[in-house]
Structure 1
C-alpha cells in the first residue's frame, strides 16, 4: 500500500469526524468526502446537514452507502479521502443482508488499491452494555471485527474521546 491509511475511532459525539476532517484539510490535497449514511428520517437529515455545515466548502462529496471501493479506486495521489463512516457502511450491509465477508474484502482491497491517502471514521461500540437483542449484538460484534481489520491495515490509528486524540498506532 503506497497510500497512507488513518483510522479515527471513537464513541458517538466524541469529536472523531471533526478530528478526521482536520487531518484531511491539513494534507493540503484535494478533499474527497465519501458519505456512507442513508438519510431515512428527519433526525438523520439534520445530522447530515450539521456535518456538511461543519465541513464547509471545498469538498467533493460522493454518496457511497454500500460500495466506497468504487470511488477509492478512481482517486489519485493528489487527493485525500475521508470515509465517514465505516459504522454506517456496516449497518447498510447488515440491513440489506448482503454478503458481508465479500463486502469487507472489497472495501479492504479498495483501500489497498487507492492511490489517495485515506482517513476512515468508525465507531467504538464495544465499551458499553451488552445489547438486549440478537441483531444489535451481531452488529456490535461485526463492528468490532471490522474495526480490527481496519486498524491492522492502517498506518495510523487515533482514538478520539471528548474531542481529544490518543494515538494508538503510528504517527500523524
Structure 2
C-alpha cells in the first residue's frame, strides 16, 4: 500500500473507531486530536523498509531492522502491536488528553497493519510464524487502492454525522 493509501485509511479508521467505540467516554470533537496523532504513526511499521519515507529518514535503524526481520516481518505483527502499546502506555507523561494521544498512536500503527492485510501480500500477524494473513480486497484487478481508501473515507464520514450524509451523496453522484 502507498503512503497516501495508508494516510487515508488511517483517517477513516480514526473517525470510525472514535465514533463507534469511544464515543461514550470521549467528546465528539476529540477525534480532531486523534487524527493527527494517528497519522504520525501510520507509517511506523514500514521502518523495516529502507526505501520507505521513514526508512530514508532513519537509514541506519531501518537497515538494521530490515536485516534482522525483513520487510513486513516483526513490525507488521501482533507482537509489534503489543510491544508498541506497552511502550506507549508505560511512558508516564502528564498531559491533558493523554488518552487521546495514546489512542491515536495505537490506531495509526494498527491501521497500517490492517491496511496491509487487505493487500495480496498480507502480513505475518503471528510472527515469528511466517504464515501471512491476507484478505486481498485491494488489488489492481478487483479494487484499486485509491478507490478503496476514498470509499472507506466517504463511508466513515457518512456514518459520522447525519448532516454530512446529504453533502456526501451529492458529491458522490456529481462525480459518477
Shorter-chain TM-score bucket reads 0.3 to 0.5
**Structure ID, larger Rg:** 2
Q: Which has the higher helix share?
A: 2
> With structure 1 as the length reference, what TM-score do the two structures score?
0.33
Structure with more relative contact order (C-alpha pairs < 8 Å, separation 6 or more): 1
Query: If each structure's strand is expressed as a fraction of its own residues, which one has the higher value?
Result: 1
